[in-house]
Amino acid sequence: MREALVSWISVWLPQWDHRLRVLRLSAVANRMRRTYDGFNGRIQTRIHGFPAVMNGGNPYPFIVSTFPLFNRALVELALQQGRDAGRKLVVIDIGASLGNTVLLLQDQAGASIDSIHCVEGDPEFAELLEINAARFSNVVIHLAMLSREPGRIAALVRQHPGTATASGAGKVDATTADSLLLPAAPRFDLLKVDIDGSDGEALTGASRLLRRDQPTVIFEWHPALALKAGNDPRAAFAALSQAGYRRLLWFRNTGDFSHFGSVDDREIETWEKYLVAMETHADPHFDVIALPGRLEHLAFGIASFGKL
C-alpha cells in the first residue's frame, strides 16, 4: 500500500506542486514531498512519457516539472545537429544515472538518434538504467568510473537520492573515456557529461576522442562540487581548448540560456568565484555546450531553442 501511494505521489506531485506554489500553499507540497523523500524503496512511475523505475526520493520528476526548460538545451542540440548532419547521431551519455537522458532523447529527439552509449559508475543507478533502457535496442550500457587517467579514485558519495559525487573516503578503479569508448564505435557525434564535479576529469580523459571525432559536448559545470572532489574546476575548458574547441553556450541550471562565451574567456574565473560563494544558498551551476568549429553556425539556433 505504501509503495502504491508513493508511486502515485511521484506521478502527480510534480503537477500539484506547481499549482500549490501558485496558490501559495507550498507548505502542503513540502509535507507531501517529505513523505515521498522518506520512502527508500523503488517506485514505478513515468519519466518523459515512458514507464520507469526510480529510487525513492529521487527529485528528477520535481525538477522537470518545476523548470519546463530543464535539459531543453540537450534536446535542441540533438535536433539541430541531426538536421545539419542529415543522419542519425551516435551519442555518449556519461553519468547516465537511471536513464533520464535516454528517456528524454528517445521521447523528444528519437528520430535524430542512432544509438546511445551510457556510462554509469553507481551500481544502483546502473541497475535502474538497465531496467529503464531495456525497451530500446539502440542503448549500450557501460558500468565504469571515469577519470583523467586509469587508476584509483575516490568512491561515489550520494549528494541526494538523485546524484553522487566522487568524494568518498574509499577508493575504486577508474578508466578513461578514451580507453572505454574509442573501441565502441567508429565515431561519436554528441558527448553529454554530468558527473557532479568530475566532468573536467572525464573530458581530460577523452582527449583522443575529442580530437578524433570533434563531437558537440554538453557538460555540467559545478565548481563547488569539483573542489569538493579535489578536482580543478577549470579542467573541462582546458581539455576542450587543447582539442580545438572555442565556442561555448552557457545555460542556467533552470535550463534557460544565459550567454555566449569561449573556452579561454577571462570571465570563467569570475563565474567560478561567484558559484562557489553562492553554494551555501542554492545549487548554482551551468550546463555548458561546446561546439567544434564546423558546427559553430548552430549556436544561435540552439540558444534560442530553434526560434531564430
Using CA atoms, how far residue 270 sits from 33, 140, 223, 249, 264, in Å, is 36, 39, 11, 17, 12
Closest CA to 264 of 249, 252, 248: 248
In the structure grid, which three cell numbers stand for residue 213, read together? 571525432
- For 40-54, 85-99, 134-148, 272-286, which range has the lowest pLDDT when averaged over its residues? 272-286
- For residue 126, the one-letter residue type is A
This prediction has a pTM of 0.88
Residue type, 189: D
Domains defined along the chain, listed by start:
2-66 (no CATH), 72-303 (3.40.50.150)
Mean pLDDT score, 6-10: 46
The answer to whether 249 and 289 have CB atoms below 8 angstroms apart is yes
pLDDT greater than 70 at residue 62: yes
Longest dimension (CA), the chain: 56
Q: Scan for cell 577549470, then name that residue.
A: 234
With cut-offs at 50, 70 and 90, classify the pLDDT of residue 41.
Answer: confident
**Residue 39 predicted with pLDDT over 80:** no
Q: Which of 302, 307, 297, 254 is nearest to 78 (CA)?
A: 302
